[in-house]
Amino acid sequence: MGDTALRVLGLIGLDLGLLACLILVPLGLPGNFLMLGLALAAAWFGGFVAIGWVALLVMLGAVLLAELLESLLGAAMTKRYGASWWGVGGAFLGGIVGALIGSAALPLVGTLVGAFLGAAAGAVLLEAWQRRRVDAQALRAGWGAFLGKLLASLLKEAVALAIAVYIVIRTH
């Protein structure tokens, strides 16, 4: 096989990998970190010409910032919708428990659905427990947790898309 055929096969493999990573991110799986691995591999095989160390470090910074903002955004939205710190903690724990239960019930898609519903349910449950009743405030906290999870997922997907577009532009 010639060099051109190997290059084309490598680019097809890279593109399929990037597409898989874009699908993994909204499912709550580490697609952004896997995409960094693909970027490093593309940089390595390209002699760090098309994708250099600075670009790799910027991508790493964007991925880490998105991870941090995911945690902060979920808490901020839950709090903004009137939750106490009990509700915020419930949203955090509920998101984790929901993702675990969802992934056991229905792998991949269940993780996403479980995380969203778990965050909302966790906020409502702990908020209601703290207030000693399920009221409109507890339900608002759950809605805030759901919105926070949604916004965080969209943010992480935007970072993934930006990195994928950069990699494709620089390598093709």
Domain containing 96: what range? Answer: 3-171
Number of domains the chain contains: 1
pLDDT at position 53 is 97
- Taking a C-beta distance cutoff of 8 angstroms, is the pair 60, 166 a contact? no
- Taking a C-beta distance cutoff of 8 angstroms, is the pair 95, 118 a contact? yes
Region of residue 133 (left: phi > 0; alpha: psi -120 to 50; beta: else): beta
pLDDT at position 18 is 98
Token pair of 123 as six digits: 């906020």
Mean of the pLDDT values across residues 106-128? 88
Token pair of 11 as six digits: 């680019």
The rounded distance, in Å, linking the Cα atoms of 115 and 141 is: 15
pTM of the model: 0.82
**pLDDT tens, position by position, 14-26:** 999 999 999 999 8
pLDDT at position 73 is 87
- Of 1, 7, 19, residue with least CA distance to 171: 7
